[in-house]
Structure formats: structure tokens, C-alpha cells
Structure 1
Amino acid sequence: MTAIALFKRVDRPFHLVMFDPRAKIDIGEGISQPASTVLTSRVRDLSVDPGLPGDFRRWLETDDTWRDRLISDPAGLEHAFVPGEIFSTYVYKRFAEALSDRPDVIVQFGSDTVTAIDRHLDGGYSVFLGAEQRTRFDAVFLATGYGMRENSDAAPAGETQSAVVIGGGIHAVDRALGLLADSKISHVTLISESGFLPQSHTPAAVGAIVTDKAMPGTLRGAFRFLREAASRADLEGSGWQGIMNGFRSRARDLWAGLTSEERARFKRHVKPIYDSHRNRLPPERYQRLHHAIASGAITVRKGKVNCIATNGVLFSAPTGLEVLPAELTIDCRFRPSGTDSPLVRSIIVAGLATRDELELGIVVDECGRTKASALHGLFAMGPLGLGSLPDIDLVPQIVQQSHAAASLLNSWIGEVAKSAARRQSL
């Protein structure tokens, strides 16, 4: 999606190199999500171009393969939720089309592992591939998402099995439901560290409800404000989701005004329940989850996993340490977006970025620039900036950010070109 933004926003020839040691540039490959994973944004809110908000819906309507699978959604196509594989197919097709519209752009795909990034003596950045090889670039975009998961999602062959899924988010719920759909799995234990699970979307989309009342500038006051507004909405029958959407639209301003102590308190006490209400399940999946819990097919346990073994897990439950045997264990816990990887550590050591206070990622501005006051061409896209920008892990927000970053880069390139032209004229 970042590459598409560059094709559309940078108005002069450039050379793009996309590094990924596991890349498969293939229509329908997917965005590192199993086919069972449903995106949490509706069809109407998905597009690779902010200027074409209905683009994904129109693409679905003209594609027989996907339209026939989704047209039965009772809420209508624009309110539907789709598996990641469908959106990924769309993204790759739009990538191919955007590239074909730019014959002046050279694109290369590199399978090398990028091990470090540093400033280059002549300006720009040195990108290191292994211990010795390095290449200079004028701009670098870190678009690594949450990184790659090493565990396998596939159940081994054999008789009916029990499984453990670690995590309490959307991905964990999807994996638990997907395992139950496999006849080999009869029971799943879902271990949530906080005990919270995702709430439900409304059947049809609701917009952001923002009251005229000023929101308090403290963490405690802001969430008291949110709870009271949501309670009133429930009593009135409009539901809390619109209130939450309105709160999210103001969350970045609130976050910027919190003290370090309040941000730390948010991570310890508020983040799990906040995430369970902002990252919601499609209504059908929510109903399937709670039906499985009620029938005993899924058991939810609260606790922190200390160790994963081949035959089960050791975890700290409220009552103490427990050993939970299982023939299959899948770890779906949220991971701070690769900030402990050698690549990100090299950027921090070089002074090109700093960790955010919650240690979820690195500090960025709205466009994804790291240390924006000093640098022009180093960007960390999407979840890498989650500690600075609430909701930047959702597709619509990532698309907005990628186009803002590409526009900013284009302006900077234009300024550099003008400066060079003036020097030549002198």
C-alpha cells in the first residue's frame, strides 16, 4: 500500500527497491493473514486511495469471484466484513495497475534481509544487507507491520485434538474459530492475559458520534467521560459503538496531552479494555464465538503464559501457576512491532529513531516520519508507530498515512530539485 501511494503521489521518476526475504509478489497471496482472518474494517471503509473511498466496493461489485461470495450479506455489501485474502487480492491488483501507469518508475524486489540502517556520509541512508554489503537510498520506508509469526497455524494430522490459542484479540479469536471448523479439533482453550475479548460491531455501520461537551484532558477524566456517554447511548438505544468511534477520532489529541505517568497507567490498566472495544468482531463472528463458549467448545482462561512446550503451556492464572496440556498450541499474542529486531535496534542506536514510552514501537509523526524535526526521508508505517498514533494499525488509517508520507516526500524532493537548479544557475 505504501508503494501504491508512492506511484500516485511522487510526480517525477524514481527507483523503488522493495526488500522482503519472504516476499511472494503474487495476486491473492494475502497480507500475512490466514484465510479465516476477517478484517475489522467494513468494505465501505477500505480503499488503497483516500481520494477514491468506494474503490474496494466497486472492485468487489465487478469481480464475479468475490461478489458472489459476499452478496448474501444481510446488511449489504458496503457493510460487509471480508477475509484478508480478498482485500489482499485487491491490493495486489491495484499495485500492478498503479505500476503500469508509471513507466518512468523502476521497481526491484530484493530477497535480501536488511540488517541495519544508518546515515550515509553523502546524505540519505545506508541500508545494510548482511555484514558487508550496503546500498545508499534517499528515503526509507519501514513497512514491516507486526513482523512475521514463526509458529505454524496448521494442525498436525491425527485423531481429535485439544488446542490452546494464546491471545485475546481478533487474530486469536479467528484462529480459535478456524480450529473448531476443522473436524480434528473438538476443544480450544483461549488464554487471554487480561481476560477481555473483542466486542461486536453493529450489523450496519454507524458513524462517529461526537458531543459538543469538551473532553477532559486527563486519562481518568477522559474515560469517565467515555463511559458516561456510552451508557447514555445504550439507554437511548443508539449503542456505544458510535460513541467509541467519536472518541477514537479525538484520541490522538488526548494522547498528545497526557503525561508520561498517565500513558504508563493507560498501558497497565486501560489498554486491554480499550482495544477490546475499538477492535471489534463482525456480528456473525461474535455470535459464533459466544455460542462456542456457551457450548463448551471454547474455554476462556485468564492468565499470562510463561512457557510454551511441545505438549502444552505453563501459565500464571489468578490462582497460581498451572500446566495446561495441549496437542497443538498457537501463539497469537500482540507483539511490539519488531522493536527488538536487529534492524530497529540499529536505527535507534544510530539516533534515527527513539522508542515510544509504551515500548509498542518507535516515535513518529502523523506522516510516519521518525524524529520529524531532524529527518526528511525515514518513515515507519502503520503499527510501528502505534505508541505515538492510536489506531494506526487499522487499514484505513495506514492508507491515509502512506499517502500523506508520499506527498511529503514528493514536496521534499521538489525542494531539493529547486535548490540544485538554483546552485547550477549560480
Structure 2
Amino acid sequence: MSDASSLPVIIVGGGFSGAMLAARLAERGQASVLIERGDAFGTGVAYSTPNDAHRLNVRAGRMGALADRPDGFINWLRAHHPDQADPNGFAPRRLYGLYIRDRLATTEAAYPALIRRVNGVAIAVEKQAAILSTGERIEGRAVVLATGNPAPRTTPAGEGGRLIANPWTPDALTPIRPDDDVLILGAGLTMVDVLLSLSSQGWRGRATAVSRRGLLPRAHGSGHDAPVDLPPQALIGPLSARLFAARRLAEAHGWRRVMEGYRPITLDLWRAATEAERARFLRHLRPRWDVHRHRIAPEIAAELDRMLADGRLTVRAGRVRRVEASAEAATLRLTARDGAAQTLSAPWLIDCTGPGHDAATAPLTAALIAEGRARLAVSGLGLDLDEDGRVRHADGAADPALFVIGPPARAAFWETIAVPDIRQRIEALAARLTA
């Protein structure tokens, strides 16, 4: 039996969260094993896109991988891609992926043997160990689940050839012909990326996007918006009163400044909220929060506006009742906001409902739940975690050696999608694991 203090930290998932945690641990003298099913170490799905039309949703000057060096990415651009080195701009995500890979490789060179890369699929997590599909058992002093964003799960993958259940699968959009019309389930960031991908391959058809409320992502302003000072009535008290105060502030100062005011304290507000308040927020306010909080680059928003004006993009609000797909076409049957039944058909249907997080059915976490080593959060957003990101057992006790970081940790931290938020969690977890 190995001395626990000499064992590595096992990180399941080699995207941004996992790779940058491994790098930060190495800089603190802690070895780690980074397990990734593919070869996209550091990039994951978001930053492995080869399409330069896919832009960051945060200004380049704030996308450094280290919490105390937010200018790290812009400095890297100045050295390697000076034509893209605009701190106020939104660089291609491809370049950000190269930056992350470069930081990982540079850290590996500076701290030899402290990061071990493993190409493989983790199929089980035992106490302080990960089991791979090959049967290999990797022991460690702790296990961190950094599995990132899974594929959409709204539509069944086997429904038919005209249904594209996962638009991030390589060449998933290739069969769509230039003049084909498409139905898109979802109107958020994934939809935006799909439209950009289609346009890049010469597509000139029409798209109809359907979502529950028909809301599109909002755009960033021309420059960074200074946060507005939030008064007590926007921070405490009933949610309805806080919402009223926030709307009044937005009328006076602009909604972007209000969102910037909330940004640094969102975690504190989430932690202070009761389960009933979280449920109300998720049920009524989340869609509007998402489109204002997770904004898109102004040039991307302008492209959407052109498509809307030209009639090439239509957005409808409604609840989908049935998805049908055959070898020739796809059909959506939905109930509109006014209660009317509608039927939409097109040659293709693309599932853009976003990451299909479901800890209850994902193989790794479902097994942990069945064993009583994990439980679902009351909010339904994922596993129940403590304030350090440790998984809570069925009895509520926090596991001392099992952590979650990145998007799957949203039940505990809510804001776990954008790099500026994830890097704060990386710093906290790295400190916790090397204490």
C-alpha cells in the first residue's frame, strides 16, 4: 500500500478545468494523473473547434488561465498572434485552445513527472482510485471529476437520420446541403455556434429555432461595462423585491452594468439562498439570467440580427411535445405560448438544447449515487457538494477525497461555466489539495 501523501491527484477529464487544475497542482509541487478519453488535452469541446467564426464570449483581456494573472491570454496573443491581441476583442476559441495547450505543455516541461497524461475512459471511481475501461486501476490521494459539458440529451440519438442529436460530433453538420432548411431545438449559445458553422460551410437556407421562451443571447457592449453599486434592496429580501430593484437599476444605468455588479457576488448570493429560493430562481428567472449573463460578441450578435432581418432565422417560443424524424424530414410538434398547437417540418432537426447534465444517469456519478457515496442536490442541477467542492454522501457527510470542478459543480457554485469563474475554483481547489 502506497503512502497517501506520495500519491497523485487523479483528475477525470482533461478539458480546461482538468488540465489547468493539473498545471496549478504541478506548480504547487503536487503530482496528478490527467485522464482524457480523446487527445484534446486542455481544450475539450469548446476550445477544440477549428472554426474561427466561433469566438470567445469573454473579452480576451480577461481570459488568462490564472486567477491572479487575467492578462495571461492577451500577453500570449501578443507573443504568438499579435494580429488578434485586442484586449477588448473576442478572439477565436481555436486560439484560446492553443494557449491552454501551450500553458499545459510549458508547465509539464518546467515540472517534469508531475503531470501524467492518460488517454482512456474512466468507468468507475473507487475510494481514492479510478478504474479505466481497459481494467487499469489508478490509485491517488484524491479524485477530481472534471468531466466538463456533456452532449445534449433532449432528443433520442436513434430517432432517425434527419435528427442531429449532437451537433459537436465531427462532421455532424456536413450532410446539410446549402439550401436545406433546418429546425433547431434551443435558442442559446449552442444554436449560435451551429448557425456560424453552417454559414462557414456555405449554407444559405432558413432556420427556425424553438425554445420555451424564445430568448436569444444578448450582446456585449462596445467596451467593458463598469459595475454599478448594488443597493441593499437588490441583494436581500424576497426575490420579487430584488428583481424589481434590479430592473430599476437597469433602467437608470443599463442592464450590462447591473450584471457586472452582480458578477463578483453571485456565488455568495447563491450560497445564501434557501432551496426554495433557488427553485424559484431556476423556474422563473434562469432563462433571462442566462441570456443576459452569458453574452456573445457584438459582431456575432450583428450576424444574428442580419439573419433575423433577412428572414433566414425565425425564433419561436413554445413547449415541444413530440419529435419525429424519418429518412426524408424531421418534425416538431409543439404548444405555443398562447396554447395553440403547431407543427413545424424541415429537412433537418438539430438538438441545440445545450449540455445534457444528468448526474443520475451518467455512468460514473450514477454508480456513486447507487453506492451511497454521492447524492443529488435538491436543486436537481447535479451532485450535492460542500463549499470545497467535495461530494456529499447519502448521509450528508462530505467525502474527504472526492471532488467536482467545472460545469458539473453548478449545483454548489452556480457560476461554473466561464473561465473567470472556473479559474477561481481551480485556485481554491489546488490550495485545498496541497494544504
Q: TM-score range by the shorter chain?
A: 0.7 to 0.9
Going from structure 1 to structure 2, the CA distance change for 1:183 and 1:128 (only over 3 Å counts) comes to same
Most deviating of 240-249 and 252-261: 252-261
Give 2:100's aligned residue: 91
Query: Contact 1:210–1:247 at 8 Å: present in 2 too?
Result: no
Structure 1's unaligned 5+ residue stretches are 72-76, 120-124, 234-238, 412-426
Where does residue 331 of structure 2 map in the other structure? 313
Q: Secondary structure at the match of 2:181?
A: strand
1:45 is the counterpart of 2:62: yes
Q: Is the contact between residue 181 and residue 347 of structure 2 (CA under 8 Å) also seen in structure 1? A: yes
TM-score, with normalisation over the residues of structure 2? Answer: 0.82
1:188 aligned onto 2:207:
yes
Which residue number corresponds to residue 361 of structure 1? 382
The correspondence of residues 268-279 of structure 1 with structure 2, limited to 5 A, is: 268-279=283-294
| 2-structure distance, mates of 1:83, 1:191 | 27
**Aligned residue pairs, count:** 392
1:377 aligned counterpart, secondary structure: strand
Indicate the residue corresponding to 1:116 in structure 2. Answer: 124
Shift of residue 336, structure 1, vs aligned partner: 4.3
Distance 1:249 1:11 in 2: 26
SS at match of 1:387: helix
Structure 1 residue 212: Cα displacement: 4.4
Tell me the SS of whatever aligns to 1:52. Answer: coil
Cα distance per residue 1:27-78 (max 9 Å; x no partner): 9996354623322111111011112221100111111xx332x36xxxxx11
Q: Which amino acid is the alignment partner of residue 19 of structure 2?
A: A
In the other structure, the counterpart of 1:400 is 424
Identity %: 27
Alignment of 1:11-410 (within 5 A): 15-25=31-41, 31-33=47-49, 35=51, 36-63=53-80, 66-68=81-83, 70=84, 77-111=86-120, 113-119=121-127, 125-130=128-133, 134-148=137-151, 150-151=166-167, 152=169, 153-156=172-175, 158=177, 160-214=179-233, 215-233=235-253, 239-305=254-320, 306-310=322-326, 311-318=329-336, 319-339=339-359, 340-371=361-392, 374-410=398-434
TM-superposed deviation, 1:356: 2.1
- Alpha-carbon spacing, 1:382–1:313, altered in 2? closer, same or farther (3 Å): farther
Write the distance in 1 (CA, Å) between the matches of 2:42 and 2:416: 26
Q: Tell me which residue corresponds to 2:7.
A: none
| Residues 20 and 42 in structure 2, CA contact (< 8 A), matched pair in contact too | no
Query: Is 2:19–2:104's contact at 8 Å kept on the other side of the alignment?
Result: yes
Aligned counterparts of 1:364 and 1:164: Cα–Cα separation in 2: 37
Contact 1:165–1:172 under 8 Å retained in 2: yes
Q: Distance in 1 between matches of 2:173 and 2:330?
A: 16
Q: CA deviation at 1:217?
A: 3.1
Q: For 2:25 and 2:129, how far apart are their aligned partners in 1?
A: 24
Equivalent residues of 1:28, 1:92 under 8 A apart = no
Q: CA 1:272–1:106 in 2, change beyond 3 Å: closer, same or farther?
A: closer
2:384, 2:45 → 1: CA distance?
A: 31
- Are the aligned partners of 2:26 and 2:114 in contact in 1 as well (CA < 8 Å)? no
Task: Please give the alpha-carbon distance, in whole angstroms, between the structure 2 residues aligned to 1:368 and 1:155.
Answer: 40
Q: 1: CA distance between counterparts of 2:28 and 2:256?
A: 43
Matched residue SS, 1:388: helix
Bigger drift between 207-216 and 168-177 goes to 207-216
Task: Give the conservation status (yes or no) of the 8 Å contact 1:4–1:98.
Answer: no
- Give the aligned partner of residue 12 of structure 2: none
CA contact (8 A) 2:61 2:70 kept: yes
- Distance, in Å, in 2 between the alignment partners of 1:300 and 1:27 is 31
Cα pair distance change 1:373/1:132, threshold 3 Å:
same
Rounded to whole Å, the distance in 1 between the matches of 2:294 and 2:324 is 26
**Aligned mate of 1:5, from 21, 26, 32:** 21
Asked if the contact 1:176/1:190 (under 8 Å) is kept, the reply is no
Distance 1:144 1:391, change over 3 A: same
1:183 Cα offset (Å): 2.7
Gaps of 5+ in 2: 1-15, 153-165
Counterpart of 1:268, as a letter, is R
Residue 115 of structure 1, CA deviation: 1.8
Cα distance change, pair 258–24 in 1 and its aligned pair in 2 (3 A): closer
SS of the aligned residue for 2:390 comes to coil
Seen in structure 2, the aligned counterparts of structure 1 residues 14 and 363 have a Cα distance that, compared at 3 Å, is same
Q: CA deviation at 1:373?
A: 5.7
- Relative distance call for 1:29 and 1:264 in structure 2 (3 A) is closer
- Between 393-402 and 181-190, the greater mean CA deviation after superposition: 181-190
Deviation string, structure 1 residues 112-152 (Cα, Å, up to 9, x no partner): x2222232xxxxx2323349654332211111111246444
> Could you tell me which amino acid in structure 1 is paired with residue 368 of structure 2?
I
Maintained 8 Å contact 1:126/1:137: yes
Q: Is the 8 A contact 1:163 1:189 kept in 2?
A: yes
Change (3 A) 1:256 1:12: closer
Q: Which residue of 2 aligns with 1:421?
A: none
Instruction: Using the TM superposition, name which of 262-271 and 358-367 deviates more.
Output: 358-367
